[in-house]
Structure 1
Amino acid sequence: MPRPQRRARIGARFASATAAGLAAVLLLAGCSSDPLAEQYREGSGKNYIAGDGSVAEFAADQRGEPVSFEGTTVDGGTFDSADSLGEVTVVNFWYAGCAPCRVEAPILQQVHEDFGDDVTFVGVNVRDQAGTARPFEEDFGITYPSILDVDEGRVQYAFAGKVPAAAVPTTLVLDQEGRVAARILGQIEDDSILSSIVGDLVAEGA
């Protein structure tokens, strides 16, 4: 695709960021019947350990080596990071009983929809089997795949040193070469932060 046309598509997505953010807020409000999410909103940290909410972005010369990973997904398929090389990839570590994971799920899905096929999204479930993970995806309308990493922890091992073991949720954004370009420890507060990071990386490779 010609660069001006690609940039125009990116610009159009960001022009709708305000509307998308409002939609995400409304969707979160609609999740008030979720007791774990409600508990988290009320300030209770019971039953989980979350990150501190810090956001780190890394310049191209500070991103280290590409990270390769693969695994079986909730629906029984296979995800291989090699298939997404050349695209920005968002990797979200989560599990169903994690209250902040439930709060941020609609935000991740919204950003996924905003960027469409230009950006790859994949979840990494660190605790659940398919029978627990699948209802979560259905309840929150998650349409991107998630790897079940509970048994062998191969994906977590691949990102060792980049994701603190107890910090769930954590979201990593990989550049087109598969290198970690940004990290969000803890719940994503709104779609603007993730959209801005992803958009900058898409433009970087345009």
Structure 2
Amino acid sequence: MSAASRAPQRSNRAAHSSNRALRVRRRATLAAGVAAAALLVSACGSGGTSGGGGNTNFVTGTDGISTVAEGERVAAPELSGKTLEGEQLDVADYKGKVVVLNVWGSWCNPCRAEAKYFAKVAKDYADQDVQFVGINTRDGSTTAALAFEKDFGIPYPSLYDPTGKLMLRFEKGTLNPQAVPSTLVLDREGRIAARSLTSLSEERLLKMLKPVVAEK
């Protein structure tokens, strides 16, 4: 075979290889887009029922609220940093009180749906040694988050955690970083007593809170 006849064959093979590489890149791009869309959907919705396994102390009720018996509770991790207002806050300073931790974002519609209930219950229980603390996540700046708090009359502080680092401090199986909103109730010793990975009504929030408040 002459050099002239081999040249078109080499050209055809090169074109075929280039087209195959292009198809591979397109499939990878499509897969990445699907994964990103799935992450966005899961980041704000009705939440889930599992934090990823690892913590077997939770007993989940039919209403999606998980509780932990007093003798099986584990301490919450160190949670401190700047609030949306730029002030320093350390959740450990509230030891001796029941603490309600609520993970939320101004971009999250279920968070907006439950915000009025959190504001109301926080005010109702303010004189019963109950402290609410928000953990604001995935807001690129504090502007929208502060507007959210103003709109709903939120009376308690929120730690500003745009990248979700505070959520990752919890023991595996305690919180699902993709479940926003989510809520934890800490007992007076700073231990995790109850959890919800879904948006809460006032009734369900009180169902989580009241038993812990009643503990002596």
TM-score, normalising length: structure 2: 0.68
Answering whether residue 209 of structure 2 is matched by residue 194 of structure 1, we say no
* 2:47 alignment partner, one of 39, 51, 55: 51
> Could you report, residue by residue, the CA deviation over 1:115-157 in whole angstroms, capped at 9, with x for unpaired residues?
0142010100111121121000011111100111114x44212
Alignment check: 8 A CA contact 1:125 1:150 kept: yes
- Which structure 2 segments of 5+ residues have no match? 1-40, 49-62
**How many aligned positions are there?**
159
The answer to whether the aligner puts 1:68 opposite 2:68 as a matched pair is no
Q: Identical aligned pairs, as a percentage?
A: 40
Contact 2:114 2:199 survives alignment (8 Å): yes
The reply on whether 1:108 has 2:104 as its aligned counterpart is no
One-letter amino acid of the structure 1 residue matched with residue 120 of structure 2: Q
Q: Deviations over 1:89-116 (max 9, x none)?
A: 0000010010000000001111101101
Per the alignment, residue 144 of structure 2 pairs with 132
Of 81-90 and 61-70, the range deviating more from structure 2 = 61-70
1:123 matched to 2:134: yes
Q: Which residue of 1 aligns with 2:189?
A: 177
Instruction: Say whether the 8 Å CA contact 1:68–1:178 is kept in structure 2.
Output: no
Q: What is the DSSP-based 3-state SS (H/G/I as helix, E as strand, rest coil) of the residue aligned with 2:126?
A: helix
Where in structure 1 are there 5+ consecutive unaligned residues?
A: 1-44
RMSD of the TM alignment (CA)? 1.9
Amino acid at match of 1:51: G
Q: Which residue of 2 aligns with 1:19?
A: none
C-alpha distance in 2, partners of 1:101/1:66? 22
Q: Does the 8 Å CA contact 2:123/2:155 hold for their aligned counterparts?
A: no
CA–CA distance in structure 1, aligned partners of residues 175 and 189 of structure 2: 19
SS at match of 1:182: strand
Amino acid at match of 1:131: T
Rg: which structure is higher? 2
Partner of 2:99: 89
* One-letter code aligned to 1:108: F
TM-score normalised to structure 1 length: 0.72
C-alpha spacing 1:114/1:55, structure 2 compared with 1 (3 Å): same
